[in-house]
Amino acid sequence: MNKVVPLCVPEIKGNEIEYVRECIESGWVSSTGGEYLNKFEEEFSRVTGIKYSNAVINGTAALHLALAALNIGKGDEVIVPSLTFISTVNVVKYVGAKVVFVDVDSRNYTIDPKEIEKVVNDKTKAIIPVHLYGIIANMDKIMEIAHKFNLYVIEDATEALGSTKRGKMAGSFGHIGCYSFNGNKLMTTGAGGMICTDDEDLNKRIDHLKNQTKTVLENGSIIHNEIGFNYRMPNILAAFGLAQLEQLEKFIIRKKEITTLYKNELNGLMGIKFPESNEDDDICQWLNCVEVFEEYGIARDELIKVMNDEGVICRPFFYPIHKMEAYSSEKVIGDKLINTELCSKRGLNLPSSVGITNNEILRICSILKKNVKNS
C-alpha cells in the first residue's frame, strides 16, 4: 500500500531541538524574560522588511489586535472576503464591528477591488484583504481605495509568508500585516503568529494591548489602565520559531519548486484550472490549489474521495462564510457572492508540504490524470 501523502505538515530539521533545549535549561520558557522572543521578532522584521514585529500566540490574536489597536469597534464596518478561514471574519465580531462581505476575483480567489469600492460608506473603517493560499491580493488598487476613503488596511497574510510583489513581502503593503505560525503553515512555532507594522506608535499600542495593558510601578506593583489581552508568545515557542526562520529561504525555494512541478504536470489537463497571479508577483503558495470544472468529468467532492482513498489527502476550498448560520445576518452586497460560491464549490487543495517528494507529486498528478472522464 502506498504511503499516505498528507495535505501540509511541518518540516522540522534545523536547530529547533537545540534552541528549545537551551530555552528550557535557561528557565525562561514563558512570555517574560529570555532572549529568544526579542531575537525572533527582530529577525522576522529583517526578513519581511517591516520595521516592527510583535509575536503573539496565534494568527487570530494578530488579527484581533490589529482591529483593537486601530480602535475599530461598535458602529464601524469592516470589508472582508467570504472565501477565507473563519478567523478573518470572527475578529471583526470580537470588536463589535459590522462585517461587510464582498466577492472575490475569480482569477485568483482574493478580494475584488471593484467590489470594495461599491460598499464604502461613512461607517467603513477598514479593509481586510486575504492573500488566500499565498496568492497576493491586488494591493496596489486596494491601497489606492484606502487612501481615497481614508481607510485602514489590515493584511491577512497568515497564508502568504514568502510571497512578494516587486520584492515587497505580502503583509508589508497595508497599515498592519498579520501572519500565522500554525503547524501547517510555511514555518511554524506550533501555535503562534506575528503582527507587523511600520508605524512606531501603532506598534507600541499593539505591544501594550497584547501584554494585558500592564504597567509596572516603581515598587513592583502592576496596574492596568484599560482592558487588554493575554496574547503574548512564550519564549519557548519563539525559540522554535527562530530555528524555523533560519530555514525560511530554503522552505520558500522548495514551495516554488512544488508549484512548478504541479503546473508542468497538470497544465492543459481538461477541466483543471490553476489560479492566476500578476506578472510582478512572486508567489510562494502555502497550499497548491486548482479548480475542478465540469469538463473534468467527475465532481470535485467525488475527486477528493478518490484521492483520499488512494492515500492522498486533499481538501476543498474554504466554505463561504456568508453561507454559514453564524453569519447569515451580515451584510452581503448583491443577491449572492457568485465568484466566492463557485470557487468554493470547485476548489481543491493539493498536498503541499515542504517535505513532499517529487515522486509523490508525480503520483498525485498521475491519479488526477487517470480519473479524467472525458478522454
Q: What is the pLDDT of residue 328?
A: 82
pLDDT of 374: 62
- Residues 6+ away with beta carbon under 8 Å from 128: 63, 78, 79, 80, 81, 88, 92, 153, 154, 155, 156
Full-model pTM: 0.96
Euclidean distance between CA atoms 134 and 86, whole angstroms: 17
Strand order in the sheet with 315-316: 272-273, 288-292, 347-350, 315-316
Query: Distance between CA 285 and CA 290 in Å, rounded?
Result: 12
Q: How far is CA 232 from the centre of its chain?
A: 19
Span 118-142, pLDDT tens digits: 999 999 999 999 999 999 999 999 9
C-alpha–C-alpha distance, residues 204 and 192, integer Å: 20
Specify the pLDDT at position 220.
84
- Chain-centre distance for alpha carbon 124: 23
Task: Round to whole Å and give the CA distance between 46 and 32.
Answer: 23
User: What parts of the chain have a pLDDT lower than 50?
Assistant: none
Domains of the chain from N-terminus onward:
16-245 (3.40.640.10), 248-370 (3.90.1150.10)
R_g of the chain computed on alpha carbons:
21
